[in-house]
Amino acid sequence: MESIGEQSTGHHFIHQRIAEDCAAGRYEGRVHTRFPPEPNGYLHIGHAASICLNFGMAEAFGGLCNLRFDDTNPIRETSEYAESIMEDIRWLGFDWGDRLFYASDYFEQLYQLALELVRAGKAFVCDLSIDEIRAHRGTLTEPGRESPYRDRSIEENLALFQGMRAGDFPDGSKVLRARIDMGSPNLNLRDPVMYRISRARHHRTGDSWPIYPMYDWAHGQSDSIEGITHSICTMEFEDHRPLYDWFIEQLGIHHPRQIEFARRNLSYTVMSKRHLLRLVEEGHVAGWDDPRMPTLSGMRRRGYPSGGVREFCERIGVGRRENTVDISLLEHCIRQDLEGRALRYMGVLNPIKVVIENYPEGAEEELEGPLHPTDSSFGSRVLPFSRELYIEATDFMEDPPRKFFRLGPGREVRLRYGYFITSKDVVKDPDTGAVVELRCTYDPDTRGGQAPDGRKVKGTIHWVSARHAQTVEVRLYDRLFSVSDPTDVPEGGSFLDHINPDSLTVIHCPVEPALRTLEAGAVIQFERQGYFCVDREDSRPGAPVFNRTVTLRDSWKGGAGGEKA
């Protein structure tokens, strides 16, 4: 791990810096953070890392964490997004108490602060178009050129800015700019735009503001207004910090400490909102909460427990170098979380019929199986048994190799919580030659899975009674992309070229009858197959639809997962 001093305290560098501030009595030992999303999309797993960090630091230091929507761009923002963001944060297990804020609540305060800068000669109204401003801006190697409007008098600037606020000028005709330094090596300090004129309707303030603050102007002042002590943000804001500091110093208002950390990416998926929006809008997925999406709503629908997601965020750690985390670590954390508490059932994904020739026709009995293999407190469920069963077609081979411990001609296996059965004969499709039915016998003395003569079998397979089974829809989800970095495409290519064509397979399969009573959202294990979640949207009472949450095969290679090259 690269984090400074990681070895000495076991804490990441942000934790350490906050601890240092507290020890030094900075901010009177107060810790107050915030999570500041723009309500212009659904939250994804990268945001979860930021949420865990901000709320986690507040918790660790006995402080507070606000939720603030940085809603300064009305064109892309909606209250639907804001609602979904709140639901996701609650689901993750965090609580902002009564501290839900919106940058738009500060529009008047921000306007007053801007007037202060104008009065101090630190901001001016500029009539250049956005394109002209860009052309004047210079490059990393060349200084910018000053605007011809830069030396307007304070009185003129005041009148013009008040006119902008009053709606006297058309959209895009003027901006308010900070008056800093067009020769600064930091482009963010070259007289950045603070306000633009736009008649866009805002989802909270409606039509009351014909001007909107730029993010860079609103963000730092909003943190200051809220008394935030530690403004944790991602690395791209490192170069904006001098600007944020400049605003705050000119105004002489409360000065939070900004600390940057690197974004986390995840393999086999995309994380940019632009890409996610495209997946949704072009119908490559069924919506923001499609279980294949890296969104928190997608993960919730897929059955990922929030505890597993939080554990993942903990394990990827906090660093200053951007990196991509292996998605198998996330899947590993999900399995670990579910292992101890998901109830076990049997369902046959790829069924083949078995007829037990020596079991009386029309007879049936009730067997019993525990709902969890190691925790008896979960109790058990009834497993009806009869002459005709389904087992997994892949649990039989006509010509099995030696290491295949399941069914083959003449071989004996254990039916989970049932009897020993022996394969006697097969029925084939006369046209294709494919095996379509197995004819077996059972040993009535092995009820419950033990032979009184101590005879052993190597294999145990899952099954359901054909007559009692319920057929349900099962959605087998796989990774959405077939390559680790879908955005790595040649000229003219698109990340969409890498969509995994098999990311969703819908099947209908027999499952044991006890599953009928599961509630929407419940996550269970189909023994030997994986974890599955009862879909919240499409399940009906008595007719669950199952989403595969994750398979049982764990491909995680170990390690912490954070700062791997």
Contact footprint for ligand ATP (CB under 6 A): 36-38, 40, 46-47, 49-50, 233-234, 263-264, 271, 273
Beta carbon of residue 216, minimum distance to ligand ATP (angstroms, whole number): 12
Catalytic residue among 263, 416, 447, 564: 263
Catalytic residue among 122, 137, 204, 273: 273
Beta carbon of residue 37, minimum distance to ligand ATP (angstroms, whole number): 4
Taking each helix axis as running N to C, give the angle between helix 45-60 and helix 13-23, from 0 to 180 degrees, rounded to the nearest 10.
30
112 φ, ψ (degrees, to nearest 5)? -65, -40
CA distance 85 to 297: 9
Residues contacting 422, CB < 8 A, separation 6+: 410, 411, 412, 440, 441, 442, 443
Task: Tell me whether residue 280 or residue 522 sits nearer to ligand ATP (CB atom).
Answer: 280
CA distance 109 to 126: 22
Task: Tell me whether residue 40 or residue 460 sits nearer to ligand ATP (CB atom).
Answer: 40
Beta carbon of residue 106, minimum distance to ligand ATP (angstroms, whole number): 17
Q: How far is CA 119 from CA 103, 153, 217, 326, 560, in A?
A: 23, 10, 17, 53, 53
- Identify the residue whose tokens are 């250049």: 128
Q: Which residue lies nearest ligand ATP, judged by its C-beta?
A: 46
Q: Collapsing DSSP states into helix, strand and coil, what is residue 30?
A: coil
DSSP-derived pairing of the beta strands 257-261 and 351-356: unpaired
Beta carbon of residue 293, minimum distance to ligand ATP (angstroms, whole number): 14
Task: Tell me whether residue 271 or residue 407 sits nearer to ligand ATP (CB atom).
Answer: 271
Q: How far is CA 75 from CA 22, 38, 198, in A?
A: 40, 12, 10
Residues contacting 405, CB < 8 A, separation 6+: 413, 458, 459
Task: Tell me whether residue 53 or residue 550 sits nearer to ligand ATP (CB atom).
Answer: 53
Q: How far is CA 307 from CA 87, 334, 526, in A?
A: 15, 8, 21
Beta carbon of residue 243, minimum distance to ligand ATP (angstroms, whole number): 16
Catalytic residue among 6, 17, 38, 414: 38
CA distance 238 to 259: 8
Task: Tell me whether residue 40 or residue 295 sits nearer to ligand ATP (CB atom).
Answer: 40
Both structure tokens of 86: 């709140």
Task: Tell me whether residue 42 or residue 385 sits nearer to ligand ATP (CB atom).
Answer: 42
CA distance 442 to 422: 6
DSSP-derived pairing of the beta strands 264-266 and 323-325: parallel
Q: Is 38 labeled as catalytic in the residue annotation? A: yes
Task: Tell me whether residue 40 or residue 441 sits nearer to ligand ATP (CB atom).
Answer: 40
- Paired residues of 353 in beta bridges: 390, 437
Q: Is 273 labeled as catalytic in the residue annotation? A: yes
Beta carbon of residue 264, minimum distance to ligand ATP (angstroms, whole number): 4
Beta carbon of residue 424, minimum distance to ligand ATP (angstroms, whole number): 58
Task: Tell me whether residue 234 or residue 328 sits nearer to ligand ATP (CB atom).
Answer: 234
Enclosing H/E stretch for 314: helix 306-316
- Paired residues of 526 in beta bridges: 345, 530
Taking each helix axis as running N to C, give the angle between helix 215-225 and helix 107-119, from 0 to 180 degrees, rounded to the nearest 10.
110
Residue type, 468: H
Q: How far is CA 127 from CA 80, 209, 255, 310, 368, in A?
A: 35, 19, 32, 49, 80
DSSP-derived pairing of the beta strands 264-266 and 343-345: unpaired
Task: Tell me whether residue 40 or residue 258 sits nearer to ligand ATP (CB atom).
Answer: 40
Give the number of residues written for the chain: 565
> Catalytic residue numbers?
38, 263, 273
